[in-house]
Amino acid sequence: MSKMLSLKNKTAIVTGGGSGIGKAIALLFAKQGAIVHILDLDANAATQVVTEITDEGFSAFAHGADVTDQQQIVLLFQTIKTPHILVNNAGIAHIGNVEHTSETDFDKVFKVNVKGVYNCLFAAVPLMKANGGGVIVNMASVAAHVGIDARFAYSMSKGAIYSMTMSVAKDYVKDNIRCNSISPARVHTPFVDGFINKNYPGNEAEIFEKLSQTQPIGRMGEPVEIATLALYLCSDEAGFITGCDYPIDGGFIKLNN
C-alpha cells in the first residue's frame, strides 16, 4: 500500500460501485486501505466486486440498494455508522433533446441522478458531522459545463450535481466536511460497449473510434483514471480542497469550445 494517498482505516461508501467507474473507485480505495461499502441496485454485481477485493486481502461489503429510496438509504447509512468518505457515483444516462425527452424519461433521470445523490447526502452529512467531518465526491459530467447534442435530461441532472456540490461545500465547510465533484468526458465502460453493440451492430469498431475522437486527446478515458482523481480528492493530501469541480476530459471542454 502506498504511504501517500492512504485511506487506511477509513470507511468509504461508493454508490453504483458494481461496474464501470464506481467499480474502479471501489477497487482502488480498498487497495489504499479503505473499508469499502459498495451500494448498487444490482446486488450481484456489488457482491462480485467485493469478492475481487476480499480475494486480494482487502476489506469490502456489498449492499443491494436503491438510491432513490430515501428511507432505505438513511437506514443503511445508519448501519454503516461512521462514513468518512462518500462517493456519489450511481447514475443513468439518457439520449434525446427536449422534444425527444418524455415526462417519464425526465422523471426517471431526475429521480436517479439528482434525488439519488440528494438522498445519500441527506443520509451521510449528519453522520459525518457527528464523526468530526468527512469527504464527499459527486460524479458530475462535462455535460454540466457545455452543451452536448441530445443530452437534455442528462445535462440537467449533472448541472444539478455541480450546484449541489457547491452548496454542500459552502454549508458544511465549518463542520470539516469537504465536498467536490468530478466531471468526466466519455469514459470506456461496459455501458459504452453495450450502447454501441445495441445501436450499431456490425459497425462497432467505427463508432467506437468516432466516439473516442470526440475528445481532443483522441481516446476515451479509462475508469481507473477517474478513480485515481477521486482517490486524491478523498485523501488527506487534498485537505485544502473543497467546493471545486474537476473536469477530466481529454481536453473536451477547453479545446472543443
154 included as an active-site residue: yes
How many other C-beta atoms lie within 10 A of the C-beta of residue 85? 28
C-alpha 11/C-alpha 175 separation (Å) is 18
Residues sharing a CB contact under 8 Å with residue 195, sequence separation 6 or more, in sequence order: 93
- Half-sphere exposure (CA, 13 Å, Cβ side) for 115? 13
The H-or-E segment that residue 50 falls in is helix 43-55
Task: For helices 190-199 and 204-212, give the axis angle rounded to 10 degrees.
Answer: 130
How many other C-beta atoms lie within 10 A of the C-beta of residue 217? 14
Interior angle at CA 127, CA 121 and CA 132, nearest 5:
115
**Helix/strand/coil for 36:** strand
Going across the sheet that includes 35-40, the strands are 60-64, 35-40, 11-15, 85-88, 134-139, 177-184, 245-248
CB 16 within 8 A of CB 39: yes
C-alpha 193/C-alpha 215 separation (Å) is 17
Residues sharing a CB contact under 8 Å with residue 147, sequence separation 6 or more, in sequence order: 155
Residue entry with cell 432513490: 68
Q: Which of 118, 154, 172, 232 is catalytic?
A: 154
Task: Indicate which residues carry an active-site annotation.
Answer: 154
